[in-house]
Structure 1
Amino acid sequence: MAFLLALGIALLITPGVRKAAFKIGAIDKPDPRKVHAKIMPRMGGLAVFIAFALTVLLTQQLNDRLIGLLVGGFLIVLLGILDDTRGLPAKVKLLGQIAAAAAVIPFGIQVEFITNPLNGQMIHLGLWGIPVTIFWIISVTNAVNLIDGLDGLAGGTSFIAALTLAAVTAVTWQQANLSGGIGMQVVALALILAASILGFLRYNFYPAKIFLGDTGSMFLGYALSTLAVMGVAKAATAISVIVPMVIMGLPLLDVLFAILRRYKSHRPIFEPDKEHLHHRMMALGLSHKQTVLAIYAVNLLLGISAFLLTVMTTSQAVLLLLILTVVIIVAANKIGVIGKTPVTVAQNLQQRSSKM
């Protein structure tokens, strides 16, 4: 019922949010770094947030953690609306993200310990848990924000991540013999988030009628990272520290590769470019829609890998992580996201013709 309610709300209110975006000037104009060629309404993430928050308030029993999630979510959405309508400096956005991430701490949402995957020993963080939690939430928030470059890309990626998070949390809490209250609520929240995204994707998938905007991409990153802290990070399993990183693997890797790429070329780390994963895949000759679907497939594989990590033995999980690492490094180098310029399909054909 909650899933269907969130889906229905998102489907119903997204057209209204689209009209409101035009009225208040939340629009995205084309430029050389962007793919779209016409003015598009932004701030679509407001529809996702309203669908999520309203469904949560109507179907879930409120507690401190849930209130903290909604308070922080409201703050990050407010920050996104300001950025979508006025455009905020990077430093102001970062300060706003820190405030939203820190807002959940008084409500009991915090990484309290990490588990050493080598020996299963718990390492209690104490006060260090506060900066670790804030850093994690900000990292995922910005990762999803940066991957939002094609129609439906960030939304679809987050939809797959939310479903994976629900499945992984359910299994992790069962394996760790933890009480089901919080764990099952995180499962429900992740499914409600997935439904809210799915309803919005009806208008955001290629060709999009509205963009998530910073309102949506930051909220999705915030919600996923916070739910991961509430769910998976609370389990004392040996591999629990790795699983959230695998679930959000593609956005996080895209950020990491961007940092390495800009460092290698002696450019400012925060300087925007047109060399992210989706840009590189389109440079290889894939269409807009093909690129999005290909990235969905990669996200799905990472989601399955994250689930497998929770049901494997530690040695099996380490082997799977090693395989994933090798495959990711080889693929990233071939595609060119670390700095190597990819060869396009047209160039390949031209080279073959010249040889013949």
Structure 2
Amino acid sequence: MSIIIYSSLVTLFSLIIMKKVSVNIGLLDKPNERKLHDGMVPLIGGICVFFGAFASLLIVGPVTSELISLFIVAMGIVLLGALDDKYDLSVTVRLFFQSIFTVSLIFYQDHYISHLGDILGLGNISMGIFGILFTIIAVVAAINAFNMLDGIDGLVGASSIVSLSGIAILAYINSHSTIFTICLAMIVALSVYLFFNINPFKLLKNKVFMGDAGSMLVGFLITWLIVLSLKPGDNGESLFRPVTALYLLALPLMDMIAIMYRRVKKKESPFKADRDHIHHIFMRLGFSDRQALLVLVTFGTLFMLLGLSFEYFLAPEWFSLLIFCGFFLFYCHFIQHAWVYTKNLKLLLDKCCR
């Protein structure tokens, strides 16, 4: 209970204070051809989520060397994101430092993804030392997947809560208090941030954005929690099987792979910013930002629950992977023919929102 109180209060007061400070330090998002919001919006949501979550973890304890190292690296990720918000860093610089931070944590904590499970039905696939490289790629990819998803109010925050909730449920079932507590601290901090971002009851004069600092933070932390969850315990069993991670990260992962494939196919940089993400497609089809948010978060939640079901009932890992790949192919087909699939859904949402 104390973790909930500290995380919510520290995040709340950080948001109130940082909204005023953001003007002085230049952390403001200005409208342009890709950003259609009104006026300049403070980019301090992610920084405040970091303050709230880690302050509560350090206050409640226990303060271990692993928590301190995670805190230091997460702080580096947040600083990198804040600098990107302010100075628009190049892709090369971002990827370089994201990799450096990930490598430092891998070697300090001696945690990395060492196996892929029985995803081919031929037995456990062990990666050995190559697991280190795989982990670096996976963490950096997830950081940028959440960063790319940050296009409408509430989407990254709500999607992060979905992923963290899935990990928290599995941690609770398996009595892993450390991972559960970190997830809980982040979920509470993100929930407070979402109130300031979405402003559901129109109580706030100005909203705040998460910024690259926030999207990088949640992408990093969620993936690192997955890395920790996949490390075999004393009984030789991990918290969940590797294939389940795909379901926990379904929306940002599918969106990133699909958008990067389309960019490469058009002979463009896979990191080029544009308005072709899934949320942009919904908006062009006439959905409001709230309607698009509802549809996409529901999509992510259903995937998370499906992954938990496969994990709970110990569905064959090759089967779980096959189902995920099937859904991904349908996702790619869907975004190419979105108008056909969303026409009736749009009518239903319009009736519900009247």
Same-fold status (TM-score > 0.5) = yes
Corresponding position of 1:189? 182
Q: Report the identity percentage.
A: 27
Equivalent residue in structure 2 for 1:222, among 214, 220, 223: 220
Within 5 Å, give how 1:301-340 maps onto structure 2: 301-315=302-316, 318-319=318-319, 321-336=321-336
Corresponding position of 1:13? 14
**Bigger shift: residues 279-288 or 102-111:** 102-111
Instruction: Note the C-alpha offset of 1:60.
Output: 2.2
**Bigger shift: residues 198-207 or 247-256:** 198-207
Name structure 2 gaps, 5 residues minimum.
201-205, 348-354
Change (3 A) 1:54 1:187: same
Corresponding position of 1:129? 131
Instruction: Note the C-alpha offset of 1:331.
Output: 4.0
Equivalent residue in structure 2 for 1:162, among 159, 164, 167: 164
CA offsets 1:187-240 (integer angstroms, 9 cap, x no match): 111111111111111101257711000111100101101111112454646971
Within 5 Å, give how 1:81-160 maps onto structure 2: 81-105=82-106, 106-119=108-121, 121-160=123-162
Counterpart residue identity of residue 217, structure 1? S
Alignment check: 8 A CA contact 1:6 1:52 kept: yes
Q: For 1:341 and 1:294, how far apart are their aligned partners in 2?
A: 13
Q: For 1:84 and 1:318, how far apart are their aligned partners in 2?
A: 41
**Bigger shift: residues 37-46 or 71-80:** 37-46
Change (3 A) 1:319 1:112: closer
CA RMSD of aligned residues (A): 2.6
Instruction: Confirm whether residue 279 of structure 1 aligns to residue 277 of structure 2.
Output: no
Q: Secondary structure at the match of 1:168?
A: helix
Alignment check: 8 A CA contact 2:52 2:189 kept: yes
Alignment check: 8 A CA contact 1:35 1:150 kept: no
Instruction: Note the C-alpha offset of 1:3.
Output: 2.1
Provide TM-score, normalisation by structure 2: 0.87
Instruction: Note the C-alpha offset of 1:50.
Output: 0.4
Within 5 Å, give how 1:200-279 maps onto structure 2: 200-205=193-198, 209-234=207-232, 236=237, 240-279=241-280
Corresponding position of 1:354? none
Alignment check: 8 A CA contact 1:117 1:314 kept: no
Counterpart residue identity of residue 24, structure 2? K
Change (3 A) 1:267 1:119: closer
Instruction: Note the C-alpha offset of 1:167.
Output: 0.9
Change (3 A) 1:325 1:117: closer
Q: For 2:245 and 2:274, how far apart are their aligned partners in 1?
A: 27
Change (3 A) 1:81 1:282: same
Provide TM-score, normalisation by structure 1: 0.86
Counterpart residue identity of residue 66, structure 2? R
Instruction: Note the C-alpha offset of 1:156.
Output: 0.7
Q: For 2:71 and 2:122, how far apart are their aligned partners in 1?
A: 33
**Bigger shift: residues 19-28 or 221-230:** 19-28
Instruction: Note the C-alpha offset of 1:320.
Output: 5.2
State the aligned residue count. 335
Alignment check: 8 A CA contact 1:169 1:232 kept: no
Counterpart residue identity of residue 190, structure 1? C
Change (3 A) 1:331 1:137: closer
Change (3 A) 1:116 1:327: closer
